[in-house]
């Protein structure tokens, strides 16, 4: 993936935005931890905490990138309802340009309820609303040429947008932008690699978690992660894989670099993978090497777990860099098997983030 220097990042005036994010945005209602099984029969169960916050993998990534200092625009579709107004206001409050958010007069904004348990597991209930209606013309063509990088998320939840994604990415690249994709989970479990192949051919950076990487590559769950990443990288993109407590790795099809991440005692891991995505893209746009961008991404994922919800604890660039300086020494590029914890690898909205 092409890199710009730190100096050019700071002085770049040829684009209105560093990053355009396209995809899903919805409110998350996070409740928990639930200490007993989820009960029906009109029973009411009490939990310690509840939070209404910004959700959707694309929206969380956009907020994280803006928090890191990037100029970010968001394109997607919400309903003409209180949930849609909440999402739009939440993005704007975090410094994301929302002028391209389209309001659907008929469909509702997606809504997700996340019920957590003390062991870190969760159950997720999502009403999809506008997700299936989001399409190519929800992405203004002018933004594709006015952004240094274009990122898409939740590929399998947005079928009409997914179908148009190869053309959107091709246009973005023709106009000088780089591209990235976080497919997230496929709730149907089909992992349709036929349509995905056309997207990967015009994708500069693929950002799956470990389970997704193996599934996207069509490999068994016990396949070594480096092999899954290698096979995906041979299809075109640089591949950065989130591996939860085992850190993360980046593969360019020839060599792999693995980071142990940053040790963390997470309060809530919802959205940690999206914050990882934001950190990796921010690192590359600042001219950092693939390995250094991976370190920044791991820090951003780990620090985002300090609070409930995907966005409240997302770090600034100064916070992330300070955490990097205080972290244990990172293994050299020739030492590719070390690991540490905290990059984000958990499931929400029927997708891994």
Instruction: List, by residue number, the catalytic residues.
Output: 274
- Mention every residue, 6+ apart, whose C-beta is less than 8 A from residue 71: 16, 17, 18, 19, 97
* Nearest residue to 276 (alpha-carbon basis) of 208, 322, 183, 226: 208
Residue 348, preceding peptide bond in cis (omega within 30° of 0): no
* Nearest residue to 206 (alpha-carbon basis) of 240, 171, 242, 255: 240
- Mention every residue, 6+ apart, whose C-beta is less than 8 A from residue 168: 22, 136, 139, 144, 150, 152
Distances (CA, A) of 329 to 118, 295, 324, 332: 31, 11, 9, 9
First to last CA, the chain: 22
**Beta pairing class for 205-206 and 238-242:** parallel
Write b or e for each residue in 241-272: b if 16 or more Cβ atoms lie within 10 A of its Cβ, otherwise e.
bbbbebbbbbbbbeebbbbbbbebebebbbbb
Task: Give the number of other Cβ atoms within 10 Å of residue 310's Cβ.
Answer: 33
- Mention every residue, 6+ apart, whose C-beta is less than 8 A from residue 7: none
- Structure tokens that stand for 338 in this block: 């070390």
Contact 131, 106 (CB under 8 A): no
Q: Which helix (H) or strand (E) holds 91?
A: helix 82-93
**Beta pairing class for 17-22 and 72-79:** parallel
Q: Which helix (H) or strand (E) holds 88?
A: helix 82-93
d(CA 122, CA 271): 13
Task: Give the number of other Cβ atoms within 10 Å of residue 41's Cβ.
Answer: 4
């Amino acid at each position: 993936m092409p890199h710009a220097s730190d100096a050019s990042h700071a002085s770049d005036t040829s684009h209105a935005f560093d990053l355009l994010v396209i995809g899903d945005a919805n409110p998350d209602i996070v409740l928990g931890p639930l200490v007993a099984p989820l009960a029906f029969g009109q029973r009411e169960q009490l939990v310690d905490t509840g939070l209404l916050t910004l959700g959707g993998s694309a929206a969380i990534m956009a907020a994280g990138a803006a928090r890191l200092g990037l100029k970010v625009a968001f394109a997607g579709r919400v309903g003409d309802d209180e949930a849609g107004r909440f999402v739009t206001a939440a993005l704007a409050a975090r410094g994301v340009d929302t002028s391209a958010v389209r309001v659907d007069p008929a469909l509702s904004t997606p809504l997700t309820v996340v019920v957590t348990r003390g062991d870190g597991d969760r159950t997720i209930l999502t009403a999809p609303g506008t997700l299936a209606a989001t399409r190519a013309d929800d992405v203004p063509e002018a933004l594709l040429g006015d952004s240094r990088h274009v990122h898409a998320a939740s590929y399998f939840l947005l079928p009409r947008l997914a179908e148009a994604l190869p053309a959107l990415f091709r246009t973005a690249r023709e106009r000088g932008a780089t591209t990235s994709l976080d497919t997230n989970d496929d709730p149907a479990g089909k992992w349709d690699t036929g349509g995905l192949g056309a997207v990967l051919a015009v994708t500069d950076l693929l950002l799956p978690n470990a389970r997704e990487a193996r599934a996207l590559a069509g490999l068994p769950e016990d396949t070594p992660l480096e092999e899954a990443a290698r096979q995906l990288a041979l299809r075109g993109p640089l591949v950065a894989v989130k591996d939860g407590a085992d850190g993360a790795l980046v593969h360019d099809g020839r060599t792999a670099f693995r980071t142990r991440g940053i040790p963390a005692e997470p309060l809530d891991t919802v959205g940690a993978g999206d914050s990882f995505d934001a950190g990796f893209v921010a690192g590359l746009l600042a001219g950092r090497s693939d390995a250094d961008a991976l370190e920044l991404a791991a820090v951003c994922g780990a620090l985002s777990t300090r609070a409930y919800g995907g966005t409240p604890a997302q770090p600034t660039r100064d916070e992330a860099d300070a955490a990097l300086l205080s972290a244990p020494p990172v293994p050299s590029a020739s030492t590719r098997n070390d690991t540490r914890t905290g990059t984000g690898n958990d499931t929400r909205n029927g997708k891994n983030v």
